[in-house]
């Protein structure tokens, strides 16, 4: 039984310093340390992908929300206009006209 | 169109009329109801069929020449069916009025669906409610442990015919046998999380007590075994701890060499002293694994801290198995210690084990590792009990606001919703105090996130597996005891922030409501 080369341990006797950890500069000088670094990088990659996916979904959701709100707004507008055009009347002289007719036909009050 | 197939045998005329009434009043109009009289001796039943069939042109009554029991009678109905989907409706049960409409909407939205199931509730003979069964989303491990999809189930008729209809040798669990075969060829399986079916609990019905039909339980064992054999899995099906449940014994499976990564409590941030007052139990932990791993080539990678008693570490030598000792960075958390241990492991399968954990079931290692041979299984987790024999871990639920640990603290004999604590099942994540995963999978998902600890790190690993198309499976019969006196703390705000940024939140976990 033995203790293997220690990750990040100051007693490490590693000599090869071509690969170093980006944060603390510790050498990546063994298969084990390389594996750990790969785990860290892969975790970051999967995490970043997941965050990107969440962001895209959020954008999609908001786009859909805007489309829905716009459609609802347009429908409300149509309903208001229809109600306005059909139900509101004015007496102009002897005539009963809607406000739209007043505007379109230039009927003076 | 739906073809609703209902075998009828000596059915109470009132219940039969109620069942037919529930079909006739469906808001979805595209259906046919095939009532298959399996040679009922009861004149009242035959008379009821004679009265009910003419009430709607979509109802057809078919009388068999000989009694064939449930499977043959159902097959008679399916042979006469013309709908695209078959729904099996028991003669004394009912559909809620919008059942077919809701199912039709789901099938339209997901046109590749070949099999669909819904939630159900049970009603007493007088019609009063006995309780709902809110089911998990598609859970293939759970289907091997119990017929959880049950009613209402809809099968594409072409698939029903392709798998060879119901098999009379499995009467009593013929529906379980059918679904096990259907899901092997189905392009998509879907769950509608709404109660659309009312299962009437009459005397002798499995809705009341599965023991009422012991022959059904035995047939279920055969159905599960047949599925295991078809799928080339070297496991043996047996009766589970509760009627209607099944357990898989993986002791005959060659699980290959296993690296057991043992992290010592002293290097973790989440643990506390053991209940016996010591701080390290690594020798006992390793010994318990050796005792429950007959014939398995083992390597132990022990990740320890400076404060770990030297005598403990030296005692490992006497156990006669290869042990690699790795001194952990004192700044690191449990996740870093586990990653460190995995980097020093040399075998293709990893088992993570805390030194506070003891194997408590025979063939524990086979039962923990064996299910990894199933397609789609990324990680497995043990059924973990605490020092006072209460449930500690039975699978995590992914829902962060608020976060809660499901099942923790419940009595060991608690069945859980729908007997969930007596069957293997997919979960969002499993606890890392006793967890198995292939080394290749562990590396492919980047191991444990070292910025997270405890439950948060486990949840993150589960989500990473899911993002690569793999599932975590909690195992009801691979049991360990964790001697820690404390539970891991809930995720911190910083940890919740990481999880939320990566995976978002959800109100409902797909597997644990």
pLDDT tens-place string over residues B298-347: 999 999 887 777 788 888 888 888 888 888 876 677 899 999 999 999 99
ipTM above 0.90, yes or no: no
Residues of B in contact with A6 (CB under 8 A): 326-327, 329
CB contact under 8 A, B339 and A36: yes
Give the confidence band of A6 by pLDDT, cuts at 50, 70, 90. Answer: very low
Q: Please state, in angstroms and as integers, the Cα–Cα distance from residue B49 to each residue in B4, B61, B289, B402, following that order.
A: 15, 7, 62, 53
List, as ranges, residues 372-431 from B with C-beta within 8 Å of A: none
Q: Which chain B residue lies closest to A7 (C-alpha atoms)?
A: B329
SS (H, E, C) B284-318: HHHHHHHHCCCCCCEEEEEEECCCCCHHHHHHHHH
B340 in contact with A, Cβ within 8 Å: yes
Q: Is the pLDDT of residue A8 over 50?
A: no
- The tens digit of pLDDT for each residue in B392-414 reads 999 999 988 888 889 999 999 99
Q: Is B494 helix (H, G, I), strand (E, B) or coil?
A: helix
Q: Is B327 on the interface with A (CB under 8 A)?
A: yes
Residue B131 confidence class, pLDDT cut points 50, 70, 90: confident
Cβ atoms of residues B488 and B275 within 8 Å: no
Q: Which residue of A has its CA nearest to B461?
A: A43
pLDDT computed for residue B35 by the predictor: 94
Rounded to 10 degrees, what is the CA torsion of B295, B140, B94, B162?
-100
Please name the residue that has the structure tokens 């064996």.
B370
Average pLDDT over residues B45-65: 91
- Tell if the CB–CB gap between B342 and A39 is shorter than 8 Å: yes
List, for residues B477-499, the tens digit of each pLDDT value: 999 999 887 777 789 999 999 99
Q: Which chain B residues touch A8 with a CB distance below 8 Å?
A: 329, 331-332
Are the C-beta atoms of B258 and B369 separated by less than 8 Å?
A: yes
**What tens digit of pLDDT does each residue of B74-103 get?**
999 999 999 999 999 988 889 999 999 999
Residue A1 to residue B317, Cβ atoms within 8 A:
yes
Q: Which of A9, A31, A57 sits opposite B327 (nearest CB)?
A: A9
> What is residue B100's predicted lDDT score, i.e. its pLDDT?
95
Q: Give the residue from B446, B450, B464 with the most A CB atoms within 10 Å of its CB, the best one to mutate.
A: B446
How is chain B split among helix, strand and coil, in percent rounded to 5?
A: 35, 25, 40
- Compute CA distances B25 → B12, B58, B65, B96, B151, whole Å: 20, 12, 31, 9, 19
Q: Is residue B212 classed exposed, middle or buried when 0-12, 13-18 and 19+ CB atoms within 10 A define those classes?
A: middle
Q: Do the Cβ atoms of B343 and A41 come within 8 Å?
A: no
Across the interface, of A8, A32, A46, the residue whose CB is closest to B446 is A46
- Pairing between strand B31-37 and B2-8? parallel
User: Cβ separation of A39 and B443 shorter than 8 Å?
Assistant: yes
8 Å CB contact between B482 and B386: yes
- The reported pLDDT for the residue numbered A15 is 37
The tokens for B298 are 């083992």
When mean pLDDT is compared across A53-62, B119-128, B408-417, B434-443, the lowest value belongs to B119-128
Q: How far is CA A75 from CA A62, A65, B36, B157, in A?
A: 20, 15, 51, 43
Which pLDDT tens digit goes with each residue over B135-182? 999 999 999 999 999 988 999 999 999 999 999 899 989 999 999 999
Mean pLDDT, range B20-39, rounded to an integer: 94
Cβ atoms of B3 and B34 within 8 Å: the answer is yes
Work out the minimum CA distance from B37 to partner chain A, whole angstroms.
Answer: 52
Sorting pLDDT into bands at 50, 70 and 90, what band is A87?
Answer: low
How confident is the prediction for chain B on average, in pLDDT?
90
Q: What average pLDDT does the segment A59-75 reach?
A: 93
- Decide: B156 and B233 in contact? Cβ < 8 Å: no
Closest listed residue to residue B338, CA positions, set B366, B289, B304, B312? B304
**Residue A14 has which token pair?**
């590693």
For B334-356, what is each residue's pLDDT tens digit? 899 999 999 999 999 999 999 99
Contact B299, B321 (CB under 8 A): yes
Q: Could you tell me which chain A residue has the CA closest to the CA of B330?
A: A9
Question: Closest to B445 (Cβ–Cβ): which among A7, A41, A42?
Answer: A42
Of B343, B464, B502, the CB nearest to A36: B343
**CB-based contact A49 B467, cutoff 8 Å:** yes
Q: In this structure, what DSSP letter does residue B367 have? A: H
Is B447 at the interface with chain A, CB within 8 A?
A: yes
Q: Residue A89: pLDDT band by 50, 70, 90 thresholds?
A: confident
Q: How confident is the model at residue B288 (pLDDT cuts 50, 70, 90)?
A: very high
Comparing B112 with A92, the larger pLDDT belongs to B112
- Model confidence at A16, pLDDT cuts 50, 70, 90, reads very low
Read off the DSSP letter of residue B484. Answer: B
Burial bucket for residue B231 (CB in 10 Å: 0-12, 13-18, 19+): middle
Residue B431 to chain A, least CA–CA distance (Å): 18
| Token reading at B389 | 């024999």
CA distances from B153 to B113, B178, B179 (A): 12, 11, 9
Is the predicted pLDDT of residue A17 greater than 90, yes or no?
Answer: no
């Amino acid at each position: 039984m033995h203790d293997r080369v220690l990750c990040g341990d100051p007693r490490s006797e590693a000599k090869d310093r071509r690969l170093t950890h980006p944060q603390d500069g510790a050498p990546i000088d063994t298969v084990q340390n390389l594996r750990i670094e790969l785990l860290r990088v892969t975790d970051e990659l999967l995490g970043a992908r997941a965050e990107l996916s969440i962001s895209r979904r959020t954008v999609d959701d908001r786009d859909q929300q805007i489309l829905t709100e716009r459609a609802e707004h347009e429908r409300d507008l149509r309903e208001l206009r229809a109600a306005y055009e059909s139900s509101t009347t004015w007496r102009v002289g002897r005539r009963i006209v809607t406000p739209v007719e007043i505007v379109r036909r230039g009927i003076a009050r | 169109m739906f073809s609703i197939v209902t075998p009828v045998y000596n059915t109470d005329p009132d219940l039969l009329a109620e069942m037919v009434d529930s079909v006739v009043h469906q808001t979805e109009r595209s259906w046919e109801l095939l009532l298959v009289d399996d040679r009922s001796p009861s004149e009242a039943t035959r008379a009821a069929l004679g009265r009910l069939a003419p009430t709607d042109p979509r109802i057809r009554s078919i009388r068999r020449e000989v009694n064939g029991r449930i499977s043959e009678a159902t097959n008679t109905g399916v042979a006469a069916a013309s709908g695209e989907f078959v729904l099996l409706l028991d003669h004394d049960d009912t559909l809620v009025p919008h059942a077919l409409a809701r199912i039709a909407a789901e099938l339209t939205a997901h046109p590749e669906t070949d099999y669909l199931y819904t939630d159900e509730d049970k009603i007493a003979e007088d019609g009063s409610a006995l309780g709902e069964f809110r089911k998990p989303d598609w859970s293939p491990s759970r289907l091997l442990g119990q017929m959880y999809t049950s009613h209402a189930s809809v099968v594409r008729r072409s698939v029903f015919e392709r798998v060879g209809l119901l098999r009379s040798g499995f009467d009593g669990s013929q529906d379980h046998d059918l679904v096990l075969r259907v899901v092997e060829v189905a392009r998509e399986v879907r769950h509608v999380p709404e109660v659309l079916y009312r299962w009437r609990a009459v005397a002798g019905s499995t809705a009341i007590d599965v023991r009422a039909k012991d022959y059904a339980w035995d047939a279920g064992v055969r159905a599960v075994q047949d599925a295991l054999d078809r799928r080339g899995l070297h496991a043996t099906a047996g009766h589970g701890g509760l009627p209607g449940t099944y357990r898989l014994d993986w002791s005959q499976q060659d699980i290959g060499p296993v690296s057991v990564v043992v992290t010592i409590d002293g290097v973790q941030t989440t643990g506390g002293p053991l209940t016996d007052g010591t701080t390290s139990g690594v020798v006992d932990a390793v010994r318990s694994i050796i005792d429950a791993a007959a014939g398995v080539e083992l390597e132990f990678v022990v990740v320890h801290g400076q404060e770990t008693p030297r005598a403990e570490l030296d005692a490992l030598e006497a156990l006669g198995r290869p042990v690699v000792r790795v001194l952990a960075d004192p700044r690191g958390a449990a996740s870093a210690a586990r990653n460190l241990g995995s980097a020093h492991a040399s075998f293709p399968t990893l088992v993570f084990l805390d030194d506070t954990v003891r194997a408590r079931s025979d063939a524990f290692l086979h039962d923990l590792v064996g299910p990894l041979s199933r397609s789609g299984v990324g990680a497995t987790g043990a059924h973990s009990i605490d020092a006072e024999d209460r449930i500690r871990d039975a699978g995590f639920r992914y829902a962060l606001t608020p976060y809660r640990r499901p099942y923790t603290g419940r009595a060991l004999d608690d069945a859980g919703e729908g007997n969930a604590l007596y069957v293997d099942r997919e979960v969002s994540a499993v606890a890392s105090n006793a967890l198995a995963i292939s080394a290749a999978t562990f590396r492919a998902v980047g191991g444990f996130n070292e910025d997270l600890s405890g439950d948060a790190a486990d949840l993150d690993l589960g989500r990473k597996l899911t993002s690569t198309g793999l599932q975590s499976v909690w195992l009801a019969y691979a049991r360990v005891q964790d001697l820690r006196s404390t539970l891991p703390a809930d995720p911190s705000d910083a940890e919740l922030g990481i999880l939320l940024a990566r995976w978002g939140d959800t109100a409902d976990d797909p597997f644990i409501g």
